[in-house]
A and B are shown apart, each in its own frame.
Chain A
Amino acid sequence: MAQQQTDWAAIARNPKFVELHRRKSAFLFGWWIASTIYYFLLPIGAGAAPGLWSVKVIGHINFGYLFALSQFLVSWAIALYYSAWANNVSDRLTNELLDELKLR
């Protein structure tokens, strides 16, 4: 059981890990908060500004429907952006750290 002898506190202090942690937290919580706020604009807006929700944009399609639809697109966009970011940034930082620790 080599795992038990690992000095976790030392890895946690490793500048590469600190960097990984900092960038990950900023990205994850930042985008999570942004997505949540955007989501709650839907029920709040529909309740508070029914006039805006009823504005016809194309034919009979109104702002309300397009805004609800945009929730799907925004969620997908965040998912794809996160995926691209994680593949490029966090996976790379993780691999660099693992290389340095000779754990890979």
Chain B
Amino acid sequence: MKKFLVIMLVALTLGVAINTVLPDFSFAGAENAIASAVTAQPPTKVQAHRGITITLFLIIILITLGIVVWAAKRTKTTADFYAARGAITGFQNGWAIAGDYMSAASFLGIAGLICLYGYDGFMYSVGWLVAYVTVLLIVAEPCRNSGKFTMGDVLSFRSNPKPVRAAAATSTVIVSVFYLLAQMVGAGKLIELLIGIPFRVSIIGVGALMICYVVFGGMIATTWVQIIKAGLLMMGAIVICILVAARSGFNPVQFFADVANNAQIQNWTQTHLLHEAIPKPGFDYGQRFLEPGLLLKDVWDQISLGLALVLGTAGMPHILMRFFTVPTAQAARKSVIWAMFIIGTFYILTTLLGFGSAIYVSPQISFAVDAGGNMSNLLLAQMLGNQIAPFVGDFLLAFLCAVAFATILAVVSGLVLAASAAISHDIWVNIVREGHADQHEQVKAARIASITFGVIAIILAILSEGQNVAHLVALAFAVASSGNLPTVVLSLFWRKFNTAGIIAGLLIGTIAAVALVLVSPNMQYPKVIAAGAQKIAVTLEKKQAEGAVLTDKQKADLAKAKMTYEKNKDGSSIVGLDKPWFPLKNPGIVSIPLGFLAAIIFALLFRSKKEEDAFDELYVKQNTGIGVAEILKH
């Protein structure tokens, strides 16, 4: 620890020295100064102080690479590479789970949703914690007791290993790719927006780092990157929350009064959220911001999302994998409980972050900077810091950027590790080599798999530039909840379950989830876009025909709408639809029961006496942990 502190201090002083010696090489500093001096003109973008931000990024890169060097010396066997020798403590693993789980989307996105939509944003955050009750009660300890490195180990315990491992590995890779792409594209955009490094360069940089962590440091390095990230994230959140809470005298009642009495929030709720041009007399628009129904309008969509979260988290391969890093079921239990307290505290703090930015930044400005509200945390940090001193504002903003950067690195590393474990351990070692591979070959296979998967992920992320990838996160959870979770639970708890059930459950659950998303409102429907553009064009043209003179902006809007209409009027969605066929954005409510049903029906159709007899062994082991010590020795 002392060594890291020294490195941090040296890097910090170096960075500060460089910044004071060199002339301000970016426009960011100047823009910040203008933005804070001319308060009448609200900022339309958030720009971090390049020097400080890059210094902090470098500190994070330095520290994590230091960990990789340290971990590389300890990564010799497969147990080191995939499971950190099973030597992570429950407390450490709890922080690592939190670090693996809380993505940049939850750090920046949920506070943004609260800032723009009030109560509904907070309600949305609840499911992310509740999901861990399922992890704790149903999967954590049995997985620790019955698996070695991957989900394929758990599923193939008593089934026909080759087809089951192949299916499990495929599903793991699919989930990881979806989740990873969303993270990486988000990272590229964020870094481009904040410090002006081009999208491709950031993607290649992030990708190179994640490959480096995984290839050289395996699970040991990944775990510590995740622990550090979770620590930084909590630190950042707590500092901002203290600054926000201080404004309301650390009094929650006063804080909510500040939200409800804020004129900008009232105006935002009235005009933007409820679309009322003239306020209803006596209606409390500020209080309305604290009530549901401003963002999440479809109850079925919410239930569907809730199901995918509650069941999907427990089916996420990179989360399941974390339970193989602890020595015992007790440690697995302890790690989930620690993770729940960290994750829960963070999501409760989003109340202060989100509503805080609504009060002090205002939803209007947050929306103007980013329509998804993703920048509201950063704007809030900068604003609150600037009021102490301009340097503090720059520093806080840079610190949060660095937290977001560390967050992305930690999450993508966990995913690359999970996917490459599935490829090398399940497919190469156990299917191709039928288990006849020595330690040296196995570790080599794992490293080659990580590099290959990482490079493919980088290429895919670069190709996805400009695509809307946000729905990929929901898709990853949908696949995990519809394919992985039913098969894992039935394998662990149902005697009659077997190979046929696992294959059918994984295939049908995954295909159903992906297919439903392909025909859902998540996709782009050019005819719907064209209709919207046409409506704008018609309205503006009518205005023109009535003799009104259009402003320059309206003229530009008209030209744009006409162009959008022409471009989209003959198009159809990626699968050739004119409008969504499935009404919900989240397929869980249909695909999860389908996954379970397919698994159960096929298991009953193709009963296997051998696999049913082997259930006793699995069931005794998963409940008692007999034989776990032997697993770890291998």
Contacts and interface: CB of A to CB of B under 8 A. Distances in A.
Interface stretch (B196-204, B337-345, B384-392, B436-444): B337-345
Interface string B609-634: 00001001101100111110010000
B299 A47 contact: yes
A59 B257 contact: yes
A75 B257 contact: no
A52 B443 CA distance: 58
A42 B303 CA distance: 9
Contact of B630 (A3, A28, A56, A59): A3
B130 interface: yes
A97 interface: yes
B333 A83 contact: yes
Given A8-B617, A82-B136, A82-B137, A60 B296 contact: no
Interface in A29-52: 29, 31-32, 35-36, 39-40, 42-44, 46-48, 50
B252 interface: yes
A91 B332 CA distance: 13
B290 A60 contact: yes
Residue of A9, A17, A43, A64 with most partner-chain B CB within 10 A: A43
A19 to B, nearest CB: 11
B126 interface: yes
A32 B123 contact: no
A86 B333 contact: yes
Interface in B225-264: 252-254, 256-257, 259-260
Contacts of B252: 61
A73 to B, nearest CB: 9
B566 interface: no
A17 B130 CA distance: 30
B130 A75 contact: yes
Interface of B: 119, 122-123, 126-127, 129-130, 132-134, 136-138, 252-254, 256-257, 259-260, 287, 290-293, 296, 299, 302-303, 306, 310, 330, 333-334, 336-337, 340-341, 344, 347-348, 613, 616-617, 619-620, 623-627, 630
A38 B620 CA distance: 31
Contact of B132 (A24, A36, A75, A80): A75
Contacts of B348: 69, 72
A65 B122 contact: yes
Given A59-B257, A60-B290, A61-B256, A83 B337 contact: yes
A31 B253 CA distance: 33
A53 B299 contact: no
Contacts of B613: 9
Nearest to A38: B130
A35 B290 contact: no
A65 B119 contact: yes
A8 B257 contact: no
Interface residues of A, number: 54
B123 A46 contact: yes
Contacts of A87: 330
Interface in A55-72: 56, 58-62, 64-65, 68-69, 71-72
Given A72-B348, A98-B624, 8 more contacts: A8-B620, A9-B616, A20-B623, A21-B619, A39-B310, A42-B126, A72-B126, A78-B137
A43 B616 contact: no
A41 to B, nearest CB: 11
Question: Among A9, A32, A65, which residue has the most Cβ atoms of chain B within 10 A?
Answer: A65
Contacts of B292: 46-47, 50, 53, 64
B133 A78 contact: yes
Contacts of A31: 133, 137
B302 A71 contact: no
Closest 6 CB pairs of A and B: A47-B299, A8-B617, A46-B292, A43-B302, A59-B253, A60-B256
Nearest to B123: A68
B296 A43 contact: yes
A70 to B, nearest CB: 10
A37 B619 CA distance: 27
A35 B616 CA distance: 29
Nearest to B344: A72
Contacts of A11: 616, 620, 626
Contacts of A32: 133-134, 137-138
Given A46-B292, A46-B293, A8 B259 contact: no
A79 B340 contact: yes
